Structure 1
Amino acid sequence: MIEAQSGGRGDTPLVFVHGGSASWRMGKDFLDALPGRVRWWAVDLPGHGASPWTPGRYDLRGVGAALAEWAAGHLDRPAWWYGHSYGGQAALAAAGVRPDAFAGLVIGDAPLAPARMYRLLDRMSGTLRRWQGWCGRPEEELVRLLGAEDAGGGRTRAEVLGAAHPYLVGQAAALHRHDPAFIEALLTESQQVYGHLGHAGEWIAGVPGPVLLLRADPAVMSLSSAEDEALVRSAARHPAVTTVSGVGHGLHQFAPAEVAATISALIP
C-alpha cells in the first residue's frame, strides 16, 4: 500500500516520487512552486514516510507494480510524473506496468543501468550504513547528526547549508520514519533491487509522451551519466535531456523553483 498527499487545484495531474531514504516532504518546496494549472500527488514509497514497511519488497519491479496499483486507484487520466533518483527508477518501472497512466515522465538524475548502480552503492555504503543506524531516532537529533556530516573542504553540512536548511529537516523527518531494511536491501541484495534496470530501455520506449532526463550538474555532483543520456535519446518516443546548472544530485531540494519551472515548461 502507498500513502500519498495531494494539492493544487488545476486540471493537469502530476505525480511526484521521492528518492531513496527520503519522503514526499522532501519535495514540498518544489510542489509549492508548481503553477496553478497543476493538480499534484506526492507519494511515499513503501518503507518510507507514512507508507507501510514491506521487507523483501523493495526491488524496483515490485515497487513499480505498487505505484501502478496506486495510480489505477487514484488517477482518472494520464499524469505527468517526476521521480527523483530511486523514485525516478521506480516511476519508470511503473511505466513498464501501466504506460497508460503516463502523459510524460521526468527522471531526476537517476542512473539507468544496473552496473552503475552497483558501483555507486559501493561508494555510498559508509553513508548508508550510518543512516541505517540512525533510522527511528528523534527528528531533532537527526537534524544535528545530518548537519554534522562532512560536506567537503573541512566543513559540515550545517556549516555549508545552515543548521535548519530544508534538506536537513526533510531528511531527518524521512529517517525518523524509515525502514532500515530498505537500506539493508540496497547494500546486501543490490542485484535483486536494481537488476530490473536492465529493462529500462523497454520501459522508456513504452512511455507514450515525452521522457526528460533531468541531470544534476556534473561539476557539483550528478549520478546520471552520458550513457543514461544516450539511452533516453535512443529509446524514448519524445526524448529530452536538461542539465540544471550549478545544482547537485538533490535537484528540487536545492533549486525547487528552477526544477518546477523546467518541468512546467515541458507540460502543455
Structure 2
Amino acid sequence: MKIGSIGYDHSHDERFVMDFEDGLECWLFLIIKTTAKFVIGKEKMQAEPGTILLLEPGTPCKYCAKDKVYTDDWFFAETEETDKAYLLERKIPTNTLLHLGQTAELSSLMHRMSLEHYSVGIYREEIEKNYLEILFDTISRSIQTKVYVMPQSFLKKNHKLTRIRMEIYAQPEQICTVDELAQRAGFSRSGLQHLYKKLFGVSITQDMVQSRMDCAKRLLSTTTLSVHDIAIKCGYRNAYYFMKQFKKHLQMTPTEYRRSVSSV
C-alpha cells in the first residue's frame, strides 16, 4: 500500500455522512474514536470508540455520526498486487469492524504518518512506509494475542497489570510472590493469573522466571560475580535452586553459559 491522503483526529458534527455506494478504487483505513453508524455491504452495525476498519477497494460502505460529533483517523491508500497476501499473512480482517478497545498507540502512529506525509523532508516516503508496516504489525499482534477481545471492565485494570509486568522485568530481585502481587494490585490470585495470561499471552509465573533468566544471563556475561551472588541478585534464596532452574531453561549450567559467551 502507498498512502494517497491521510488525516489525524478529524472531527465532524452530527450532519457528517460518508457514502461510497459503489465502493472506492483504493483502500480505506479508519480508527474510529466516537460512536458511529455503519453500513458495510448490506450489513448495518454500530462502531464503538476504539474500533478500526480496513475497507477493500470496491466494497460499498456508508458511515455517519451517531451522536453530536464523529472523530476518526483515516487514510486512503493506493492498491498494490501484494496487499491481499500481506494482510492475509498478518491475519488482518478486511471489510469488518474490529473493536480493539485501546487504539492510542495506533493513533500515535497515524499522527506521525500524517506529519511525514505532508512534510517535504528527505526520506519522507520511506519513513511513512515504515510507519505503515509498524501500524499493521501492531494490529496483527493485538489480533493474534487476542488483546482486542478484552471487555471494558478488563481494560480499566490494564494499567495495573502492565505496571506489574514492568516491575517484574525491571527488578527481578524484588519480585514478590503471586499472592503478594495479587493482594497489592487488588486482585484474587486466580483473577490475577487469568487476566495476566489473557493480556500478555504468557502466565505471570513464566514472566517471573523469564525476567530472572534474563537478569542472570546479563550478569553472567558482563560481570565476574559468583554464581551465588548472581542467584541472590536474581531473586533466588539459594544458588542450588537457581542453578537447577537455569539449566532447565537454558540447557546448560550458569558456569557453562558464562564460558560460552566469553569465548565469543
Q: TM-score scaled to structure 2, two decimals?
A: 0.21
The higher relative CO (CA closer than 8 Å, separation ≥ 6) is in 1
* Structure having the higher Rg: 2
